[in-house]
Amino acid sequence: MTVTDEKTWPDAAQWTGKIYSNGWRPSEGGVQPVNEPATGERLAEVGVAAPADVARAGTLAARAQRDWAEAAPQERAQVLLRTAQALRDNAGAVREWIVRESGGVPAKGDYEIAAGLSQLAQAAGLASLPRGEILSPSAPAGTSYAWRVPLGVVGVVNPWNAPLLFAMRALAPALVLGNAVLLKPDPHTPVSGGVVVARLFEEAGLPQGLLHVLPGGPGTGEAVVADPHVAMVVFTGSTEAGRAVARAAGDRLKRVALELGGKNSIVVLDDADIDSAAAAGAMSSFGYQGQACVAAGRHLVHADVVAPYTEALMRQAAALRVGDPREEGVALGPVISERQAARIERIVDESVAAGARVLAGGRRDGLFYPPTVLDRVERTMPAFTEEIFGPVAPLVTFRTDHEAVEIANDTAYGLTAAVHSGSMPRAAAVAEQLRTGMVHLNDVSAKDAANAPFGGMGASGNGSRIGGTANLEQFTQWRWMTTPGSV
Protein backbone atom coordinates (compact mmCIF):
# COMPACT_ATOMS: atom_id res chain seq x y z
CA MET A 1 0.00 0.00 0.00
CA THR A 2 1.47 3.36 -0.97
CA VAL A 3 1.20 6.60 0.92
CA THR A 4 -1.30 7.87 -1.64
CA ASP A 5 -3.72 4.98 -1.04
CA GLU A 6 -7.11 6.31 0.08
CA LYS A 7 -7.03 3.95 3.04
CA THR A 8 -4.03 5.73 4.58
CA TRP A 9 -4.25 8.67 6.92
CA PRO A 10 -5.09 11.44 6.22
CA ASP A 11 -7.87 10.46 3.83
CA ALA A 12 -6.77 11.76 0.41
CA ALA A 13 -10.37 12.07 -0.76
CA GLN A 14 -10.88 14.79 1.84
CA TRP A 15 -7.99 17.12 1.02
CA THR A 16 -6.66 16.39 -2.49
CA GLY A 17 -6.43 19.62 -4.48
CA LYS A 18 -7.77 21.70 -1.58
CA ILE A 19 -6.66 24.11 1.12
CA TYR A 20 -7.72 24.13 4.76
CA SER A 21 -9.60 27.34 5.55
CA ASN A 22 -12.80 26.90 7.57
CA GLY A 23 -12.76 23.31 6.43
CA TRP A 24 -11.38 21.81 3.23
CA ARG A 25 -12.23 23.88 0.19
CA PRO A 26 -11.05 24.45 -3.40
CA SER A 27 -8.48 27.19 -3.78
CA GLU A 28 -8.35 30.14 -6.13
CA GLY A 29 -4.76 29.31 -7.08
CA GLY A 30 -5.31 25.89 -8.62
CA VAL A 31 -3.35 22.81 -7.57
CA GLN A 32 0.27 21.66 -7.41
CA PRO A 33 1.77 18.18 -7.52
CA VAL A 34 3.71 16.69 -4.62
CA ASN A 35 6.62 14.57 -5.86
CA GLU A 36 8.91 12.18 -4.04
CA PRO A 37 12.58 13.29 -4.32
CA ALA A 38 13.95 9.72 -4.14
CA THR A 39 11.91 8.32 -7.03
CA GLY A 40 10.20 11.23 -8.78
CA GLU A 41 6.84 9.55 -8.13
CA ARG A 42 3.84 11.81 -7.80
CA LEU A 43 2.44 11.37 -4.31
CA ALA A 44 -0.49 13.77 -4.24
CA GLU A 45 -1.93 17.12 -5.28
CA VAL A 46 -2.66 20.00 -2.94
CA GLY A 47 -4.42 23.29 -3.45
CA VAL A 48 -2.41 26.46 -4.00
CA ALA A 49 -3.60 29.49 -2.05
CA ALA A 50 -3.96 32.62 -4.15
CA PRO A 51 -3.87 36.11 -2.57
CA ALA A 52 -7.68 36.05 -2.48
CA ASP A 53 -7.55 32.85 -0.41
CA VAL A 54 -5.11 34.47 2.00
CA ALA A 55 -7.28 37.56 2.33
CA ARG A 56 -10.35 35.44 3.10
CA ALA A 57 -8.37 33.38 5.61
CA GLY A 58 -7.08 36.50 7.35
CA THR A 59 -10.59 37.86 7.78
CA LEU A 60 -11.93 34.55 9.13
CA ALA A 61 -8.95 34.09 11.44
CA ALA A 62 -9.33 37.56 12.96
CA ARG A 63 -13.01 36.90 13.59
CA ALA A 64 -12.46 33.48 15.19
CA GLN A 65 -9.53 34.69 17.29
CA ARG A 66 -11.66 37.04 19.37
CA ASP A 67 -13.69 34.19 20.88
CA TRP A 68 -10.62 31.96 21.19
CA ALA A 69 -8.80 34.61 23.23
CA GLU A 70 -11.73 34.61 25.67
CA ALA A 71 -11.66 30.81 26.08
CA ALA A 72 -10.24 29.44 29.33
CA PRO A 73 -6.49 28.79 29.08
CA GLN A 74 -7.06 25.19 30.15
CA GLU A 75 -9.49 24.73 27.26
CA ARG A 76 -6.83 25.88 24.80
CA ALA A 77 -4.26 23.60 26.45
CA GLN A 78 -6.58 20.61 26.12
CA VAL A 79 -6.77 21.14 22.36
CA LEU A 80 -2.98 20.85 22.18
CA LEU A 81 -2.97 17.70 24.30
CA ARG A 82 -5.62 16.14 22.06
CA THR A 83 -3.53 17.11 19.04
CA ALA A 84 -0.61 15.27 20.58
CA GLN A 85 -2.78 12.19 21.01
CA ALA A 86 -3.88 12.40 17.37
CA LEU A 87 -0.23 12.55 16.36
CA ARG A 88 0.56 9.45 18.42
CA ASP A 89 -2.40 7.62 16.95
CA ASN A 90 -1.30 8.38 13.39
CA ALA A 91 2.48 8.32 13.86
CA GLY A 92 3.08 5.59 11.26
CA ALA A 93 1.30 7.47 8.48
CA VAL A 94 2.91 10.77 9.47
CA ARG A 95 6.36 9.16 9.40
CA GLU A 96 5.66 7.77 5.93
CA TRP A 97 4.76 11.21 4.62
CA ILE A 98 7.87 12.79 6.11
CA VAL A 99 10.09 10.08 4.60
CA ARG A 100 8.59 10.16 1.13
CA GLU A 101 7.96 13.88 0.83
CA SER A 102 11.19 15.26 2.34
CA GLY A 103 13.65 12.43 1.58
CA GLY A 104 14.55 11.81 5.21
CA VAL A 105 15.14 8.34 6.61
CA PRO A 106 12.52 6.86 8.97
CA ALA A 107 14.59 7.84 12.00
CA LYS A 108 14.31 11.44 10.88
CA GLY A 109 10.53 11.05 10.72
CA ASP A 110 10.52 9.56 14.21
CA TYR A 111 12.59 12.49 15.47
CA GLU A 112 10.17 15.02 14.02
CA ILE A 113 7.21 13.25 15.58
CA ALA A 114 8.86 13.03 19.00
CA ALA A 115 9.97 16.66 18.81
CA GLY A 116 6.51 17.74 17.68
CA LEU A 117 4.98 15.96 20.68
CA SER A 118 7.43 17.76 22.95
CA GLN A 119 6.49 21.10 21.43
CA LEU A 120 2.79 20.44 22.01
CA ALA A 121 3.33 19.36 25.64
CA GLN A 122 5.64 22.27 26.41
CA ALA A 123 3.25 24.78 24.86
CA ALA A 124 0.29 23.35 26.75
CA GLY A 125 2.14 24.17 29.95
CA LEU A 126 2.23 27.85 29.00
CA ALA A 127 -1.49 28.02 29.69
CA SER A 128 -0.92 27.69 33.44
CA LEU A 129 1.85 30.28 33.75
CA PRO A 130 1.15 33.71 35.29
CA ARG A 131 0.40 36.25 32.56
CA GLY A 132 0.68 39.51 34.48
CA GLU A 133 1.91 41.42 37.47
CA ILE A 134 0.79 44.04 39.93
CA LEU A 135 2.89 47.17 39.53
CA SER A 136 3.90 49.42 42.42
CA PRO A 137 1.75 52.54 42.07
CA SER A 138 3.29 55.98 42.54
CA ALA A 139 0.34 56.99 44.71
CA PRO A 140 -1.24 55.02 47.58
CA ALA A 141 -4.72 54.76 46.09
CA GLY A 142 -5.79 52.73 43.08
CA THR A 143 -4.17 49.85 41.26
CA SER A 144 -1.64 49.57 38.45
CA TYR A 145 -1.21 46.27 36.71
CA ALA A 146 0.02 44.78 33.43
CA TRP A 147 -0.77 41.54 31.66
CA ARG A 148 -0.05 39.76 28.42
CA VAL A 149 -2.65 39.61 25.66
CA PRO A 150 -2.58 37.70 22.35
CA LEU A 151 -1.22 39.40 19.26
CA GLY A 152 -4.22 38.33 17.17
CA VAL A 153 -3.33 36.53 13.94
CA VAL A 154 0.13 35.02 13.46
CA GLY A 155 1.52 34.20 10.02
CA VAL A 156 3.87 31.20 9.87
CA VAL A 157 6.01 30.66 6.76
CA ASN A 158 7.35 27.14 7.16
CA PRO A 159 10.47 25.45 5.65
CA TRP A 160 10.73 22.04 4.02
CA ASN A 161 13.57 20.47 6.02
CA ALA A 162 11.66 19.78 9.27
CA PRO A 163 8.11 20.63 8.23
CA LEU A 164 6.15 18.98 11.02
CA LEU A 165 8.50 20.07 13.80
CA PHE A 166 8.74 23.69 12.69
CA ALA A 167 5.00 23.93 12.22
CA MET A 168 4.34 22.66 15.74
CA ARG A 169 7.10 24.85 17.20
CA ALA A 170 5.24 27.97 16.07
CA LEU A 171 1.59 26.85 16.02
CA ALA A 172 1.45 25.25 19.45
CA PRO A 173 2.51 28.31 21.50
CA ALA A 174 0.73 30.77 19.23
CA LEU A 175 -2.58 28.93 19.57
CA VAL A 176 -2.40 28.16 23.28
CA LEU A 177 -1.69 31.84 24.00
CA GLY A 178 -4.90 32.85 22.25
CA ASN A 179 -3.85 33.62 18.67
CA ALA A 180 -5.12 32.37 15.33
CA VAL A 181 -2.64 31.18 12.66
CA LEU A 182 -2.17 31.35 8.91
CA LEU A 183 0.30 28.58 8.02
CA LYS A 184 2.07 28.58 4.66
CA PRO A 185 3.92 25.28 4.18
CA ASP A 186 6.80 25.04 1.75
CA PRO A 187 5.91 23.80 -1.77
CA HIS A 188 8.23 20.80 -1.33
CA THR A 189 6.41 19.52 1.79
CA PRO A 190 2.81 20.78 1.75
CA VAL A 191 1.45 17.52 3.17
CA SER A 192 3.76 16.76 6.12
CA GLY A 193 4.08 20.49 6.83
CA GLY A 194 0.48 21.46 6.11
CA VAL A 195 -2.22 18.88 5.40
CA VAL A 196 -1.06 16.61 8.23
CA VAL A 197 -0.96 19.56 10.65
CA ALA A 198 -4.47 20.66 9.69
CA ARG A 199 -5.87 17.16 10.12
CA LEU A 200 -4.25 16.71 13.53
CA PHE A 201 -5.76 19.91 14.88
CA GLU A 202 -9.04 19.15 13.17
CA GLU A 203 -9.22 15.77 14.91
CA ALA A 204 -8.36 17.49 18.20
CA GLY A 205 -11.39 19.75 17.92
CA LEU A 206 -9.69 23.09 17.29
CA PRO A 207 -12.55 25.50 16.52
CA GLN A 208 -13.00 26.44 12.88
CA GLY A 209 -11.29 29.58 11.66
CA LEU A 210 -8.30 29.47 14.00
CA LEU A 211 -5.94 27.58 11.69
CA HIS A 212 -5.68 28.10 7.94
CA VAL A 213 -3.21 26.04 5.89
CA LEU A 214 -2.29 27.88 2.69
CA PRO A 215 0.20 26.04 0.47
CA GLY A 216 1.96 27.97 -2.26
CA GLY A 217 5.14 29.66 -3.39
CA PRO A 218 6.65 33.08 -2.73
CA GLY A 219 3.49 34.90 -3.84
CA THR A 220 1.46 33.12 -1.18
CA GLY A 221 4.08 33.91 1.43
CA GLU A 222 4.11 37.57 0.42
CA ALA A 223 0.33 37.69 0.78
CA VAL A 224 0.52 36.21 4.28
CA VAL A 225 3.14 38.77 5.36
CA ALA A 226 1.17 41.64 3.84
CA ASP A 227 -2.27 40.67 5.11
CA PRO A 228 -3.58 43.47 7.36
CA HIS A 229 -4.96 40.99 9.91
CA VAL A 230 -1.53 39.39 10.48
CA ALA A 231 0.17 41.00 13.48
CA MET A 232 3.30 38.83 13.52
CA VAL A 233 5.24 36.67 11.07
CA VAL A 234 7.33 33.64 12.03
CA PHE A 235 9.74 32.79 9.21
CA THR A 236 12.22 29.92 9.05
CA GLY A 237 14.42 29.72 5.98
CA SER A 238 17.38 31.26 4.22
CA THR A 239 18.95 34.53 5.30
CA GLU A 240 18.27 36.06 1.90
CA ALA A 241 14.56 35.27 2.08
CA GLY A 242 14.45 36.29 5.73
CA ARG A 243 15.73 39.74 4.89
CA ALA A 244 12.91 40.14 2.35
CA VAL A 245 10.33 39.05 4.94
CA ALA A 246 11.81 41.45 7.50
CA ARG A 247 11.63 44.35 5.05
CA ALA A 248 8.02 43.61 4.15
CA ALA A 249 7.01 43.16 7.80
CA GLY A 250 8.96 46.22 8.89
CA ASP A 251 7.23 48.43 6.35
CA ARG A 252 3.94 47.38 7.96
CA LEU A 253 5.28 47.66 11.55
CA LYS A 254 4.69 43.97 12.22
CA ARG A 255 6.58 41.84 14.69
CA VAL A 256 8.75 39.26 12.96
CA ALA A 257 10.65 36.25 14.32
CA LEU A 258 13.39 35.04 11.98
CA GLU A 259 15.21 31.72 12.26
CA LEU A 260 17.67 31.78 9.38
CA GLY A 261 20.81 30.07 8.13
CA GLY A 262 24.03 29.11 9.83
CA LYS A 263 27.68 28.43 9.10
CA ASN A 264 28.22 26.44 12.24
CA SER A 265 31.55 25.19 13.55
CA ILE A 266 32.53 22.10 15.46
CA VAL A 267 35.72 22.96 17.35
CA VAL A 268 37.93 20.00 18.25
CA LEU A 269 40.65 20.86 20.78
CA ASP A 270 43.83 18.82 21.14
CA ASP A 271 42.63 17.05 24.31
CA ALA A 272 39.30 15.91 22.83
CA ASP A 273 38.09 12.31 22.60
CA ILE A 274 38.71 11.97 18.88
CA ASP A 275 36.32 9.11 18.12
CA SER A 276 33.51 10.80 20.05
CA ALA A 277 34.20 14.14 18.38
CA ALA A 278 34.26 12.56 14.91
CA ALA A 279 30.96 10.75 15.56
CA ALA A 280 29.39 14.03 16.63
CA GLY A 281 30.92 15.76 13.62
CA ALA A 282 29.56 13.15 11.22
CA MET A 283 26.09 13.35 12.70
CA SER A 284 26.18 17.15 12.58
CA SER A 285 27.32 17.38 8.95
CA PHE A 286 25.73 14.31 7.36
CA GLY A 287 22.46 13.84 9.28
CA TYR A 288 19.45 14.42 6.98
CA GLN A 289 21.93 15.08 4.17
CA GLY A 290 23.20 18.18 6.00
CA GLN A 291 19.92 19.96 5.28
CA ALA A 292 19.55 21.76 8.59
CA CYS A 293 20.30 25.29 9.71
CA VAL A 294 22.09 23.78 12.73
CA ALA A 295 24.29 21.44 10.65
CA ALA A 296 28.06 21.66 11.08
CA GLY A 297 29.40 23.58 8.10
CA ARG A 298 33.01 23.66 9.33
CA HIS A 299 35.18 21.29 11.35
CA LEU A 300 37.89 23.30 13.11
CA VAL A 301 40.48 20.81 14.35
CA HIS A 302 43.68 21.35 16.29
CA ALA A 303 46.66 20.65 14.03
CA ASP A 304 48.07 18.05 16.46
CA VAL A 305 44.97 15.84 16.17
CA VAL A 306 43.72 16.61 12.66
CA ALA A 307 45.15 13.37 11.20
CA PRO A 308 43.35 10.96 13.55
CA TYR A 309 40.21 13.09 13.49
CA THR A 310 40.18 13.05 9.68
CA GLU A 311 40.64 9.29 9.59
CA ALA A 312 37.81 8.79 12.08
CA LEU A 313 35.51 11.15 10.16
CA MET A 314 36.24 9.34 6.89
CA ARG A 315 35.38 6.01 8.54
CA GLN A 316 32.08 7.51 9.64
CA ALA A 317 31.38 8.76 6.11
CA ALA A 318 32.27 5.42 4.51
CA ALA A 319 29.81 3.60 6.77
CA LEU A 320 26.83 5.69 5.65
CA ARG A 321 24.82 4.14 2.82
CA VAL A 322 23.12 6.53 0.37
CA GLY A 323 19.86 5.63 -1.37
CA ASP A 324 16.09 5.52 -1.20
CA PRO A 325 15.31 6.29 2.45
CA ARG A 326 12.60 3.62 2.54
CA GLU A 327 15.20 0.87 1.95
CA GLU A 328 16.71 -1.02 4.87
CA GLY A 329 20.10 0.29 6.01
CA VAL A 330 20.02 3.58 4.11
CA ALA A 331 21.43 6.47 6.18
CA LEU A 332 21.23 9.32 3.66
CA GLY A 333 18.38 9.91 1.26
CA PRO A 334 18.23 12.43 -1.59
CA VAL A 335 18.59 16.16 -1.18
CA ILE A 336 15.35 18.01 -1.66
CA SER A 337 15.72 19.24 -5.27
CA GLU A 338 17.90 19.55 -8.34
CA ARG A 339 18.54 23.16 -7.43
CA GLN A 340 19.91 22.17 -4.04
CA ALA A 341 22.02 19.35 -5.49
CA ALA A 342 23.53 21.76 -8.02
CA ARG A 343 24.33 24.25 -5.26
CA ILE A 344 26.20 21.66 -3.21
CA GLU A 345 28.06 20.54 -6.32
CA ARG A 346 29.06 24.11 -7.18
CA ILE A 347 30.40 24.87 -3.71
CA VAL A 348 32.49 21.69 -3.61
CA ASP A 349 33.78 22.06 -7.18
CA GLU A 350 34.72 25.72 -6.75
CA SER A 351 36.52 24.94 -3.49
CA VAL A 352 38.44 22.07 -5.12
CA ALA A 353 39.39 24.33 -8.00
CA ALA A 354 40.75 26.78 -5.41
CA GLY A 355 42.92 24.10 -3.77
CA ALA A 356 40.72 22.04 -1.45
CA ARG A 357 40.99 18.25 -1.62
CA VAL A 358 38.18 15.69 -1.63
CA LEU A 359 38.95 12.87 0.79
CA ALA A 360 35.55 11.17 0.60
CA GLY A 361 32.47 11.58 -1.59
CA GLY A 362 32.31 14.66 -3.76
CA ARG A 363 30.34 13.26 -6.71
CA ARG A 364 26.58 13.17 -6.86
CA ASP A 365 24.17 10.78 -8.57
CA GLY A 366 21.13 12.85 -9.43
CA LEU A 367 19.71 14.08 -6.14
CA PHE A 368 21.85 11.68 -4.13
CA TYR A 369 24.96 13.37 -2.74
CA PRO A 370 27.32 11.19 -0.68
CA PRO A 371 28.88 12.22 2.66
CA THR A 372 31.83 14.33 1.61
CA VAL A 373 35.00 15.28 3.51
CA LEU A 374 37.18 18.16 2.32
CA ASP A 375 40.60 19.13 3.65
CA ARG A 376 43.02 21.92 2.75
CA VAL A 377 40.09 24.30 3.04
CA GLU A 378 41.08 27.95 3.18
CA ARG A 379 39.02 30.81 4.58
CA THR A 380 38.47 32.33 1.13
CA MET A 381 36.82 29.23 -0.32
CA PRO A 382 33.05 28.78 -0.77
CA ALA A 383 33.16 25.66 1.43
CA PHE A 384 34.30 27.91 4.28
CA THR A 385 32.19 31.00 3.65
CA GLU A 386 28.85 29.71 2.29
CA GLU A 387 26.11 27.73 3.99
CA ILE A 388 26.23 24.46 2.04
CA PHE A 389 23.02 22.79 3.23
CA GLY A 390 24.37 19.46 2.12
CA PRO A 391 26.39 16.51 3.53
CA VAL A 392 29.81 18.16 3.30
CA ALA A 393 32.39 18.43 6.10
CA PRO A 394 35.12 21.04 5.40
CA LEU A 395 38.22 20.66 7.59
CA VAL A 396 40.22 23.67 8.83
CA THR A 397 43.15 23.49 11.25
CA PHE A 398 44.24 25.80 14.08
CA ARG A 399 47.06 25.95 16.63
CA THR A 400 45.67 27.78 19.66
CA ASP A 401 42.32 28.16 21.38
CA HIS A 402 42.41 31.87 20.53
CA GLU A 403 42.87 31.05 16.85
CA ALA A 404 40.00 28.55 16.95
CA VAL A 405 37.68 31.24 18.33
CA GLU A 406 38.84 33.74 15.72
CA ILE A 407 38.23 31.29 12.85
CA ALA A 408 34.83 30.19 14.21
CA ASN A 409 33.72 33.81 14.50
CA ASP A 410 34.84 34.58 10.94
CA THR A 411 31.30 34.55 9.55
CA ALA A 412 28.24 36.76 9.42
CA TYR A 413 26.18 33.87 10.81
CA GLY A 414 25.79 33.09 14.49
CA LEU A 415 23.39 30.22 15.05
CA THR A 416 25.06 27.32 16.88
CA ALA A 417 28.38 25.61 17.54
CA ALA A 418 29.94 22.67 19.35
CA VAL A 419 33.22 22.49 21.27
CA HIS A 420 35.00 19.21 22.08
CA SER A 421 37.60 18.94 24.84
CA GLY A 422 38.66 16.61 27.63
CA SER A 423 38.39 19.59 29.97
CA MET A 424 34.90 20.98 30.47
CA PRO A 425 36.20 24.31 31.86
CA ARG A 426 38.41 24.72 28.78
CA ALA A 427 35.55 23.85 26.43
CA ALA A 428 33.28 26.32 28.23
CA ALA A 429 35.93 29.05 28.05
CA VAL A 430 36.11 28.64 24.27
CA ALA A 431 32.33 28.36 23.93
CA GLU A 432 31.74 31.62 25.81
CA GLN A 433 33.76 33.51 23.20
CA LEU A 434 31.76 32.23 20.21
CA ARG A 435 29.23 34.65 18.73
CA THR A 436 26.37 32.16 18.51
CA GLY A 437 22.92 31.95 20.02
CA MET A 438 23.51 28.33 21.03
CA VAL A 439 26.58 26.23 21.81
CA HIS A 440 26.96 22.60 22.89
CA LEU A 441 29.90 21.00 24.68
CA ASN A 442 31.16 17.56 23.64
CA ASP A 443 28.05 17.06 21.54
CA VAL A 444 26.59 17.68 18.11
CA SER A 445 25.93 21.16 16.76
CA ALA A 446 22.42 20.14 15.71
CA LYS A 447 20.34 20.18 18.87
CA ASP A 448 16.84 21.37 19.69
CA ALA A 449 14.62 21.23 22.76
CA ALA A 450 11.07 22.43 23.28
CA ASN A 451 11.92 24.20 26.54
CA ALA A 452 15.01 26.01 25.19
CA PRO A 453 15.16 29.51 23.65
CA PHE A 454 16.10 28.56 20.07
CA GLY A 455 17.61 31.22 17.81
CA GLY A 456 20.75 32.89 16.57
CA MET A 457 22.75 36.08 16.23
CA GLY A 458 23.89 38.11 13.25
CA ALA A 459 22.74 36.79 9.88
CA SER A 460 21.16 33.78 11.61
CA GLY A 461 18.18 35.76 12.89
CA ASN A 462 16.93 39.00 14.36
CA GLY A 463 17.46 38.19 18.02
CA SER A 464 14.09 36.47 18.37
CA ARG A 465 13.82 33.20 20.30
CA ILE A 466 11.19 30.47 20.17
CA GLY A 467 10.87 27.78 22.82
CA GLY A 468 9.97 27.46 26.47
CA THR A 469 9.00 30.65 28.27
CA ALA A 470 10.53 32.71 25.44
CA ASN A 471 7.28 31.99 23.63
CA LEU A 472 5.46 34.29 26.02
CA GLU A 473 7.47 37.22 24.71
CA GLN A 474 7.09 36.19 21.09
CA PHE A 475 3.37 35.48 20.88
CA THR A 476 1.86 38.00 23.29
CA GLN A 477 2.11 41.73 23.98
CA TRP A 478 1.82 43.74 27.18
CA ARG A 479 -1.22 45.76 28.20
CA TRP A 480 -1.06 48.18 31.14
CA MET A 481 -4.15 49.29 33.08
CA THR A 482 -4.60 51.64 36.03
CA THR A 483 -7.43 52.77 38.26
CA PRO A 484 -7.76 56.35 39.57
CA GLY A 485 -5.18 57.38 42.10
CA SER A 486 -2.60 54.77 41.17
CA VAL A 487 -0.30 57.04 39.15
What amino acid positions are annotated as catalytic residues? 259, 293
DSSP 8-state assignment for residue 191 = I
Distances in Å between the Cα of 82 and the Cα atoms of 27, 89, 124, 168 are 28, 10, 10, 13
Comparing CA positions, the residue from 33, 40, 309 lying closest to residue 187 is 33
Instruction: Render the burial of 368-397: b for 16+ CB within 10 Å, e for the rest.
Output: bbbbbbbbbbeeebbbbbbbbbbbbbbbbb
Please answer whether residues 462 and 474 qualify as being in contact, where contact means their C-beta atoms are separated by less than 8 angstroms.
Answer: no
Instruction: Render the burial of 36-74: b for 16+ CB within 10 Å, e for the rest.
Output: bbbeeeebbbbbbbbbebbbbbbebbbebbeebbeeebe
Comparing CA positions, the residue from 293, 230, 286 lying closest to residue 454 is 293
Please answer whether residues 205 and 152 qualify as being in contact, where contact means their C-beta atoms are separated by less than 8 angstroms.
Answer: no
Please answer whether residues 322 and 331 qualify as being in contact, where contact means their C-beta atoms are separated by less than 8 angstroms.
Answer: yes
Phi and psi for 32 in degrees, rounded to 5? -135, 145
- Identity at 280, one-letter amino acid code: A
Distances in Å between the Cα of 164 and the Cα atoms of 48, 90, 152 are 19, 13, 23
Assign 238 to helix, strand or coil: coil
Distances in Å between the Cα of 7 and the Cα atoms of 19, 44, 93, 138, 199 are 20, 14, 11, 66, 15
Residues 377, 352: Cα–Cα separation, whole Å: 9
Q: Which residues pair with 255 in a beta bridge?
A: 232
- Treating both helix axes as pointing N-terminal to C-terminal, what angle do 218-226 and 239-251 enclose, rounded to 10 degrees? 30
Phi and psi for 419 in degrees, rounded to 5? -130, 130
Please answer whether residues 312 and 275 qualify as being in contact, where contact means their C-beta atoms are separated by less than 8 angstroms.
Answer: yes
